[in-house]
Amino acid sequence: MKTSIKIENLSKSFNGKRILKEINLELPEDGIFGILGKNGAGKTTLLATLMGLVTPTSGEIKIFNKCLRKDKFDILNEINFQSPYIELPKKMSVYQNLIFYARLYNVKDKGKKIDNLCSELLVDDLLELNYGKLSSGQKTRVNLCKALLNTPKLLLLDEPTASLDIQTSEFIRKYLVKFQKNYKSAILITSHNLEEIQYMCDYLIILENGMVKDFDTIKNLLKKGKKSKIKELLLND
């Protein structure tokens, strides 16, 4: 099986406390993967480790068959990240932010790429506005534009629709599902919204106390648990 992410015996400790514990995981080359777990389960640490922001205490990560430890900068060209908790420079306009990141990512046809994404994500009327003056929903769509500039093979999303209204949340979900189908990318999502995970994701990773408690397709997990919804499955545990 071709994999997007292969994790072997991954552990991470902070100040003597183990946050991730001997994680072993192989994710298929494309699909949408949800990560669920209580606060402190290790979701954020796992994402940060996959981005190369946190160095594992032990273990190895391969992304598209490349070792993250040895080939970090090659891998970074193929991935991106978006979170509502990380903002872009507030005093720069939306366009200035996007052109800056397009140059950083060595995007070809920068202007065309920005125009297309802004049109698709309905932010083309925001280009001249300062990023800091945007609403939460507008910032989320601009942040997503930034994250898709390099058409990532692996997209990491931390609570992609947190604090958004129902209409904007639904728009973002549908757009991401369409993006994944069009580009056959791998999208990894952390969220506390169980309905969102069930709607968007093909696979589910359940973390508990820094370990992978379960991993399978959502369909198989629900079938094994004889449940119709993820919420029922988790409450049963």
pTM of the model: 0.94
CATH T-level fold of 3-236: Rossmann fold (3.40.50)
pLDDT in tens, the chain (237 residues): 799 999 999 999 999 899 999 999 999 999 999 999 988 889 999 999 999 999 999 999 999 999 999 999 999 999 999 998 899 999 999 999 999 999 999 999 999 999 999 999 999 999 999 999 999 999 999 999 999 999 999 999 999 998 889 999 999 999 999 999 999 999 999 988 899 999 999 999 999 999 999 999 999 999 988 888 898 877 765
Domain boundaries, the chain: 3-236
- Strand, helix or coil for residue 150: coil
In a 13 Å sphere around the CA of 2, the CA atoms on its Cβ side amount to 7
Task: Measure the CA–CA gap between 195 and 201, rounded to whole angstroms.
Answer: 10
